[in-house]
Every structure is written in C-alpha cells, then in structure tokens.
Structure 1
C-alpha cells in the first residue's frame, strides 16, 4: 500500500484547518478515525498547543497518529514503552533534520510570536508570510515514510 498524504494535508491547511488538524485529518484513511472526530480531537494542538507556540501542531499530530497505529494499550512492558518513546523521538529527530526544531515559536522566526488565544485571520497575506504549510508537508511526508518503513499491524479497536 502506497501512502501519500502530504498534498491532502496542505489542502486542508490552506482550506482553513489548523496545522495539527491538517496533518491528523489527512491520515483518517490510515487511522480509521471519523473525519469530524479527527478534526475535533486535533483542534487543540494547533499553533503549538492552543496558540501557546510550544510543540508544533504538525508534530503533535504525527505523534497522535503513531499512537493510534503503534501505541500502547493499558498493559505493556517497560521495553514496549521504551520502544514507543523511541519511535516518537525518531519522528521528532526527522522533523528537526529538516527544520532544526519542533518548537512552534522557533519555527516562526521573524514572525510576530504571541501567546494570545486569538488566531490570525487567514488572508492572502497570511499565506504569503506564514511558513506553516511547509511544516504540514514535512510532517505528512515523514509520517508517510515512517509508515511505509514500519507497516502497522491491524488494530482491533474501532475509532
């Protein structure tokens, strides 16, 4: 199975979804999650978690998707937990290779970085100066690559 979600994630971002929603919702065909639920669940992680400019929402979305595909249930060993955290750190490292950081405020170099809750209006100017669509693409490409390298086992849970 060939995964290719980067264009879809970028379309969703340009269409008005936040960065986390764009990546997370682009992968509903893989996670089996309902589109509306996916958008609602990931809505809090945009702009570095509620516009606090912490961990980039695209990375949070990657980590949530990986949790669905490879995550741990209620019972697991110390080794399994270590393996899962290693997986998350690998994805973060891949993102850092491209952009030097996973921190939203550091990614937005040169832009006004505030922690007010009011999002910026999505105008033509916004898309000209906002680098976020690049991060959306990067996260989706990294995740596609990771999934291709590590095909998930079928999950028994219904989302």
Structure 2
C-alpha cells in the first residue's frame, strides 16, 4: 500500500489528521506505530482542536523533521534548510486550499461544543480532511524525492 493510501486508511480508522500523516513516515524512520500515534495525538484539529494550523500540516512537519533533521543542533545552515522545506509544505497547502488554519478550512470552531457536535453530525471532517491528509503526504513525498531521501 502506498503512503497516501495508508494515511487515508488510518484516517478512516479514527486516527486524526496529524496522526494519519505522521505515522506513515514515522514507522519508516524506526518509530513504533503506537509511539508515533501517541506523539501526534494532540496535533489534530489544529492542535488539540484549537483550530490553528491544520493537523495534516502539523503531522507533515513532524515527519519532515524526523526524516531530515540535522543531528548537530549547532548546524544553523541545516536548520535554515529544514525550515525552508517546512515553509514549502505550508505554502503549497495554502496555495491549494487558500488557508492553513483548521477553523478557516472547516468553517467550525472545534473548541465550541456546538460546533464540535455539528462536525460529528455533519461528517464535515470525514468529508474534507482526507483531501488535506492526501495532499500533505504527496507534498512530503515530492520534497523527499527532490532531496534524494525517498
């Protein structure tokens, strides 16, 4: 199964958007699935359902860091490069979807109990978020391929 399909399968199984993206790449980098799932648990819904940056982006940035981060914390050139790649993911996402914040993308404030209930009832997250998950996985694959790390 390819990465995108695996991420979408995990989303359909109840993983949040961040978990769906991060776990695919994390297990390829030696993390146990359960550990990766737990690490990303609070990054869905725009960070603990706060509506901030989309969880798919959060998961993608964590995956990018895990895959490409420098081993020398004093290597400022490598840090700059990694941050440029992270910005590329965010910029691609914003260019495609017009926003990066969960609250804007979904039109819901998941902190509000009524909006959270409405999201569950309407299925908006199940209908919208898979596209965000798939897009971030594809963007990560493109970036990793261009860097020779695919």
TM-score bracket, shorter-length normalisation: 0.7 to 0.9
- The gaps in structure 1 that reach 5 residues or longer are 154-159
Listed as ranges, the matches of 1:7-156 within 5 Å are: 7-109=5-107, 112-116=108-112, 125-126=122-123, 130-152=127-149
- The gaps in structure 2 that reach 5 residues or longer are none
Determine if contact 1:4/1:144 at 8 Å carries over to the other structure. no
Which protein is richer in helix relative to its size? 2
CA distance in 2, matches of 1:114, 1:121: 9
TM-score (norm 2): 0.85
CA distance in 1, matches of 2:105, 2:124: 15
Residue 91 of structure 1 deviates from its aligned partner by: 1.2
TM-score (norm 1): 0.81
Describe the shift of the 1:10–1:91 C-alpha distance in structure 2 as closer, same or farther (beyond 3 A): same
Q: How many residues align?
A: 149
SS in 1 for 2:70: coil
Which protein, 1 or 2, shows the higher relative CO under an 8 Å CA cutoff with sep ≥ 6? 1
